[in-house]
């Protein structure tokens, strides 16, 4: 069974850092682009970043570029999102998703909640 399991969310003070992880199973992780997408409470989806199969290409939405870094470790079937200089408005559920062709969310994890609050 294909699975994506996110972890690493929690409560962090504004200005702080957090590293999210996403572990893949049930499919060949190294064959796919991967994305991070977030959803603020009661709000819509926001695509954040994606990364090529070998990590050689990365793209970001303007709102997180320079603060967030996407990375992956294919040997560990893992995707990461390093989040620095967190803001209150970064509070959201963060999803990792398998990307196919030009479809950012072909398959999704269940998400991990990040709360940036003092």
Partner 1 sequence: QSALTQPASVSGSPGQSITISCTETTSDFSSYNYVSWYQQHPGKAPKLIIFDVSSRPSGVSNRFSGSKSGYTASLTISGLQAEDEADYYCSSYTTSDTYVFGTGTKVTVL
Number of residues that bind partner 1 (CB under 8 A): 24
Cβ at position 37, least distance to partner 1 in Å? 8
The answer to whether residue 105 forms part of the interface with partner 1 (CB under 8 A) is yes
Using the rule CB under 8 A, which residue among 111, 112, 114, 116 binds partner 1? 111
Report long-range pairs for 98-105 (Cβ below 8 Å, ≥24 apart). 98/4, 98/24, 98/27, 98/32, 98/33, 98/34, 98/35, 99/32, 99/33, 99/34, 99/35, 99/50, 100/32, 100/33, 104/35, 104/37, 104/47, 104/50, 105/35, 105/37
Give the residue with the Cβ less far from partner 1, 16 or 57: 57
Using the rule CB under 8 A, which residue among 70, 90, 109, 112 binds partner 1? 109
- Tokens 């990365």 label which residue? 58
* β-strands 112-116, 10-12 pairing: parallel
Cβ at position 109, least distance to partner 1 in Å? 7
Q: Footprint of partner 1 on residues 31-90 (CB under 8 A)? A: 35, 37, 44-47, 50, 59-62
> Where do contacts with partner 1 occur on this chain (CB under 8 A)?
35, 37, 44-47, 50, 59-62, 95, 100-111
């Amino acid at each position: 069974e294909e699975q994506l399991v996110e972890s690493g969310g929690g409560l962090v003070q504004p200005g702080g850092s957090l590293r999210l992880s996403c572990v893949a199973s049930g499919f060949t992780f190294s064959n796919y682009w991967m994305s991070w997408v977030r959803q603020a409470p009661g709000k819509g989806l926001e695509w954040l970043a994606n990364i090529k199969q070998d990590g050689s290409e990365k793209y970001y939405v303007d709102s997180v570029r320079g603060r967030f870094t996407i990375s992956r470790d294919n040997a560990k079937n893992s995707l990461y999102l390093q989040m620095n200089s967190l803001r209150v408005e970064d509070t959201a559920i963060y999803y990792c998703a398998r990307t196919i062709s030009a479809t950012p969310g072909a398959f999704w994890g269940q998400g991990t909640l990040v709360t940036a609050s003092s």
